[in-house]
Chain A
Amino acid sequence: MQEILQCLNPCSSASNLSVLERQRARLQRQQSFESMNEINNLSFDNLISLPISPQNLQTDQYFCSDSSLKNKKGGSLRKRKAPTVNSGEEEEKEKKMKPDDKPEKFKESGAEAETAAPPLKRDFIHVRARRGQATDSHSLAERVRRERISERMKYLQGLVPGCNKITGKAGMLDEIINYVQSLQRQVEFLSMKLATVNPWIDFNIDSFLPKEVNLACNPSIPTVSVSTELVEPNYFKMNPMHQMATSCGLNIDVNFSDLVIRQSLSSPLTVHDTFLDPSFNVHSSSWDANSQNICDLEFHDQLPLQSLPDGYSPYNLKMEM
């Protein structure tokens, strides 16, 4: 056992330093890392190369639990001399030999202070320390948790505009907080604005929108597309808005910049929003095919067509559009 310790001492310190360096530039230096650590033919390729994905986590967990099982079977590591556990032993000894090293978290950089880390000393998330770490369920869970957190931070980084340059959890957190705060402030400001603008614009759009639109009827969409133009103008004539007695009463429904909304939303969402948009947007030319179809669904199924009020015909309205 002591022989092992002695052998490990010279090479490990050097290699660990280099490992630390590599961890900082791990994405660029994977190959050298791997070549140095041939002993540990672990699947840390997965860990290194990919940013965190759930698969990785799973493989990691699987692997760790597997090795932890192995290790646990043998009792304390130091006693077992089985070859499979050897590298684990070595790793653990590496761990214990370097209490002074800073714990390197695997995927994270920057300020680490904020994560509560009781197993700090054991946290060298050298990838090669993984098998040794596997004995410690706390550090396992800790590592998984950290990986999840960094995965989410990365997602948030994509969400919050202008965050690409910022690395580190603290900076990212601040950015996220600022972003959410600014959004909330905007909502408040816009609600005030709406409160001022609203009173004289009668906004009866929704009174005739059906509450439950069965978007599951999508399969029927292609068949129904014909009657859009005919149906909707009728629909809008039933609109109590036309009580406003001018054609602009109808137009008020119209000009929602749904285009803005629709275009900026991703495609799975457009199904939801565009079914609304056509109801407000009489300008059929600006509709997507989707919205038209969804519109068909809605209007065709649920609204009874009534006779047109005077002065309007569906075709006239269409031409106004």
Chain B
Amino acid sequence: MQTYHFLRSLTHINLTRPSSPLHRRSRAIRRAAYVSMARAASPRRMWTRAILGRLQLLRRARLLRRRRNYKKKTTISTPHDKLRRLVPGGEEMDFCRLLEETADYAEFLSKQVRIMRSVVDFMEAECRKKEEKV
């Protein structure tokens, strides 16, 4: 499911704006990666909702042509602060829940990395083939 979503968004990115600058495209791809992760995961997860919520905010911001800083700044200073910042939606959870979310998030992240790697490998192989043919 994750693969499907990711590839779909990848093709979409390539089709809509093939000429946009590199950094914008890479940003879009990165966003697509996270969104495909979130779509593939259970919506009961906090990080899923956080990512998709971010997406909604972004879309609305784009419509309004404004950029909003959606990152919350917490005043909690716990030793787990770093982890909270890493995991999307991790700001307002207790530690126990945070660990759960981290595990889930890490699992999907590693899957995503694998997917992207295989896509890259595949594409590079294809490029090489093309070059050889030429």
Q: In the bound complex, what is the Cα–Cα distance between A190 and B122 (angstroms)?
A: 13
Q: In the bound complex, what is the Cα–Cα distance between A321 and B100 (angstroms)?
A: 44
**A261 CB contacts on chain B under 8 angstroms:** 3, 111, 114-115, 118
**B65 CB contacts on chain A under 8 angstroms:** none
Are A257 and B121 neighbours in the complex by a CB distance under 8 Å? yes
- CB nearest to B94 among chain A residues: A145
Are A190 and B113 neighbours in the complex by a CB distance under 8 Å? yes
**A258 CB contacts on chain B under 8 angstroms:** 3, 118
**A156 CB contacts on chain B under 8 angstroms:** 99, 102-103, 106
Are B99 and A195 neighbours in the complex by a CB distance under 8 Å? no
Give B113-130 interface residues, CB cut-off 8 Å to A.
113-127, 129-130
Q: Render A259-276 as a binary contact track against B, CB cut-off 8 A, 1 for contact.
A: 011001100000011001
**A114 CB contacts on chain B under 8 angstroms:** 78-80
Are A194 and B26 neighbours in the complex by a CB distance under 8 Å? yes
Q: How many residues on the A side are at the interface (Cβ–Cβ under 8 A)?
A: 57
Among B86, B111, B124, contact of A197 (Cβ-Cβ < 8 Å):
B124
Which DSSP category, helix, strand, loop or mixed, fits chain B's interface? helix
A315 contacts the other chain (Cβ, under 8 Å)? Answer: no
Shortest distance from the beta carbon of A303 to any chain B beta carbon, whole Å = 16
**A193 CB contacts on chain B under 8 angstroms:** 120
Give the interface segment out of B6-14, B52-60, B67-75.
Answer: B6-14
Question: B residues near A, CB below 8 A?
Answer: 1-4, 7-8, 10-11, 13-15, 18, 22, 25-27, 29-30, 33-34, 40, 78-80, 82-83, 86-87, 95-96, 99-100, 102-103, 105-107, 109-127, 129-130, 133
Known pairs A152-B103, A192-B22. 20 more at Cβ < 8 A?
A148-B96, A152-B96, A170-B79, A176-B106, A177-B83, A180-B102, A187-B112, A187-B113, A195-B29, A198-B25, A202-B14, A203-B10, A204-B11, A248-B129, A251-B126, A255-B122, A260-B118, A272-B1, A273-B2, A276-B1
